[in-house]
Every structure is written in C-alpha cells, then in structure tokens.
Structure 1
Amino acid sequence: MQSEEDWDDGEDWDDDYDDSDSSSILDMELATKMKLAGAVGIALLIILSSTIFTNFGFYSGAGSISVLIDVNEGKDASDNTFTFNILATSPAFGSLEKEGKYTIVNVPNSVEYSGSPISAHSGTFSLNDDGRGSVSIAYSDLFKMNGNYNLQVELGSQKASDSVILNKFSESAVADLVQFDGSKPLDRDDGVITNMHFSSEIIDDPDSNLDKSIIIIPSVTGTITIYFSEELFEEDEDENYWDSDNDRSPEVVETIQFSYFGDQMSVVYESGTVEEGPNFNPFIFDTSEFYGNSGDYAIVIEFTNDLGSDDSVKQGQSNWKWFHICNTNSDGSCSD
C-alpha cells in the first residue's frame, strides 16, 4: 500500500498545469465574437445603406414604382404635350435601376370602331437619384383616335399603370348664329356673330352612359366659304325654309382660311386681313369683307384634323343653313 509520503499532492500537479492554455482559449473566443460583431455590423450597414441610398446595393432593380398622368391632361386647352411622372424606390439590399420603359395603348371610344387597341407610343425613361422622373410627348407623336389612353411603365420587375380619356379628333363643326332665329334679318353693320363649335364622332360617353357626340377642343385647319343668293327677306318662314336651298342660286363671295388649336383661332380673309387670338368665341364674321347686296347668305366649313390617323376632309355649316343680311331700319326690316 502506498504510504502518505509517496503521494505528492502538490509539486507534480503544479508542474503539469499551464495557465497559458486557458488564456489562449479566452483570446480565441474574444476574437470570434469580435469577428461576428464586425460581420453583423457590416450587414446592418449594408441594409441601412440600401434603405437610405437608392444607388447602393448588391444588385439593381426596383422595390416599388408608381406613375401618374398629369391631372390636367386633356383638359387644358393650350396644352400640346402628354405628360406623366414616375416615382420608384430601390429594392431591399439592392440599388435603384435608373432606366425603365413605357408603352401607351389607345382604346378608341367611337361606337363605329370594332378593331383592336392601337399602339400609340413607346419609349424609355430615366430616374434621378431620388427615384423621380418625368416624360413629355408631343400630341402629334402620340394621338391616334379619340378614346382611352392606357399607360404602363416598367422598371426591373415592377410595373405600374394609369389611364386618361383624350378626345381631340373632330368629325363635324357648326357656326351657331347668335342673333338669327328666322324672324328678322341680320344688320350688316353688326357683322355675323357666331359661336364656333367642333364635335367628335358618336362615342361611348362614360359620364352619361349614352352614345353621343360631344363638343371638343381639336387641332384643325381648313376653309370657311361664304355663299350668297340674291333674295328678299321672307317673313314668317320656318326652319325648313332656311335649312333648304329651295330655288336659291348660291355663289361664292368669300373663302376664309382658318386654323384652330386649343383656345387659339386664326382666320385670313381673301383681302389678306388676319384675325387671331385666344378665347375667340363669339367669333364675328366681318361683313365688310364679303357683303355686296341684301340677300341670303350661308356658311360652309371644311377642315382636316391635324392630330390622329384620319386626314379626310370633314364638313360643317351654320346652324341655320341660310340666313339673311341687309341694311336694316329701326324696326329691324330691310332698307335695301
């Protein structure tokens, strides 16, 4: 049996134990934690940067995108461009893609149209560092037919859309005679006072749920021809008399060139006299340019649309086909 003297409880144990091994383990654990903390910090920095900065990330794309057509599109008479705005955000862990594309499709609202939607325009857009962009397109490059214009934008895997109804194509025109109702002639000194209106073809009108023609603001050019027939003023005649040629012998006494865009109209008489300006209604025809004798007169309008794919000649006239002009007495009767 081993004696108590043989058991050495101190010296051999002390010789075998080395505290440097424990220190190394602690150092390794600390280094690992520091590396892990550093990795987490870098990851958080990347996440934060990708959230704040649109041009920072592992890849490019879009987190979201929205598009808005100008709220006044189709309503501002003087506007000649189609405008829309884009707003996009960057994706998680990615940078914002700066280049996108768009398409615009026209769905005609004419009740006589039975074809497919029409490709109106397509192109690309660019975004700034804030993810914003704007596109303006001349109507001459965009407009096809009256109807709905559906816009779709695409950026990365994200898409957005908006739409607007544009009615800018005129099928007919009328010159409403303000002072003539068939009961009395017009006084030559007052001129021929009219309200000029241009109307669409018969369309599906969502506001009224009725198929009808509506007054529009077009872009047109054409001629206004004034006819004369030497006649005495016929009292107590109804609309049928004034809206029919009957035995009249029309002859052209004036041809006026005109253009109409938005709220601007320009007319050029044969003499070279020019009248133009905004908000022209009521438009007053200058009788000194064409009046020769007391008689019946008629206004005939021919025009073509400057916008759209249909360049055929359209027609219109005064709401009373014939009306009488003369020098009048104080009681409104003709003096000549």
Structure 2
Amino acid sequence: MRPLSVQYLRNIRNPLQFVDWARYQFSRGKDVYLSTLTSSGTHWLRFLIAKVIVDAHDLGYAFTDIRPESLVPIFRDKTVRFDFNDYTEFSRFQHRYKPYSVLLRGGRVIVPVRDLRDTMVSSYDTYSEHKDSSITFSEFLRADGVDEKWHRTLEWRIDLPNQWHRNWDNVDDHLSVKYEALKGDTQGVTHDVLEFIRLDNVSDALVTQVTEFCDIDQVRRTQIFSVIPTSGSNRQARAPKSIRERPIGTGTISMGLTDAISSGLSMSVLKTTPVTTMEASERQRNAGVRGLPIASCLGICSSTAVCSLPRDPSRSD
C-alpha cells in the first residue's frame, strides 16, 4: 500500500492523467464497488461477476480472454478503465482494497470477508514465496520487519470491515459475502450477488451455467493472467495468478479478540501474546448478510480462541 504522500505526489506529477481519471469517475452514476480484504477470494469473485456480464450481454469474450482487471477494474489504478464504460445497460464495477471513502458515498458496496486465520496464512504463503522466505510466521503475524507494501497487517484486516460497518449509512446499499459460503454454495451466493448489483438478462439457468463452469478449480487451472493496458487494445500479460486453497483453519492463536473487534486491536497485545496451536471449534457460516456487523461475519467473534491458524503454514494439505 502506497502512502498517501506518494499517491498525492504522483497526481501532482501527472495532472492530466489525474484529471482524465476524475472525469472518468464522474462520467456515470454511482458504481458498484467490490471492497475486499486481500486473500479473501477476490480474484474468484471478480471472475464470476465478469463472466456473468460477458454471457448475459453477449459481449463476445472467450473464457480465457476474460480479464477481471478490466471488467472489474481497481479503483485507484488511473490507467485501467471499465471496458464497457459507455454501455449503460448495466452498472459499472470497480474494486478496491481500502475502507470507506467519501468518493464512494451513495454507491453500492459488496464486502467479501473470509476467516482471518485463512487470510493470514494465505498472505504468509505469498509473502514468504515472493518477498522474504526467511521470515517466520510469528514475525509475519506481528508485522515484525515486514514490508507493508506487501502485507496487510492483522490490525488492518480487522479495522477495514469495522470501518465499513461504521459507514454503512453513507452508501446506498451494501452486501457482505463470506468466502466460506461462496465456496460451499457458489450458485446460491452468486445469485444473491447478482440480485444485489441489479444485473439484467440474468436467468437461473445462466447462473447455474456460469458457476458450474467457473468453479474455483476451473479458475485455478486456467491460471488467469492480469493485464496492463498499453496502447489501444494491446495488452501485456503479467505473471499468471493462481488461487491457493487451504482447509479452513485447524489451529488458533490463543487470544481473545472480542473486545479488540469493537474497540480496536492493540498491537502491544499482539506482540506479547504467544502463538499456540489448538483445535478450532466449528463456527456458523452465513452468507449475504445485510446490516450485520461485519466483524460477526469474519468467524472471529468467539469469546475464546478466535483467530485460528493452521498448525503448519508451510503445508498445503
């Protein structure tokens, strides 16, 4: 995550680009925003939405040509645009990894959430593979010596959904979606998401077709590429992105975060609390819950061991 000072400096250095981006942002009515935690099934959900858009409106994309990055582009990226910005038959979609902003006032927001145990381990896998293989999981969890450009801390991951909960009244409508429920009932949750974003020309048969075709294993096998618009329609492929999978957490951090959820996580507590491994209790998993404090959707609101982690983060089974 770039500091605000860096972002502002880039806008000053590239005023025409910023003005063009601002005009683009205000060129249509309020958008549908996908505001996610990292490692929460973002790529899969973006792909499902993009595939439904393509099929419902006969946009002529082959499966391997669908680019979630241009059909559900990142909000702060000033070079990527929604491919069908002039196509007013459906809403424009944008994606962001940040909490509420006044720029989103009046929009509709989807907030996917996932068990913090699994998001932390997934992020640790990525960080240790691409940035620093010597870091231990305890160091990563406490953000000791961690490059924050590569890692969202546990404090940040708790704060983001709670910030959204405090600002629900500032958006037109909102929907929270649990990753665990999306995986368990892909068709049902996808139907709820499409109903929320008010996408026309979507039948039950289409939802069934898309969710069966775009199951998580299929998306993982295709190794969907990110794209960078260059000039015109030319696009340059980045390294392939894959979707990692782990069993839902099998161990826990032995500390209660119930109070921290409501009052703010204390990093001093994090730094002094030992990481232990213990069996996690079953948690209720509900998807598509509107008006519910997102903290309760995270699967971490137990009075005992709440933020659980697999016993061996290096294992994939």
- TM-score bracket, normalised by the shorter chain, equals under 0.3
**TM-score if structure 2 supplies the norm length?**
0.23
Structure with the larger strand share: 1
Question: Which of 1 and 2 has higher RCO (CA within 8 Å, sep 6+)?
Answer: 2
Task: Determine which structure has the larger helix proportion and give its number.
Answer: 2
In our comparison, the structure showing a higher alpha carbon Rg is 1
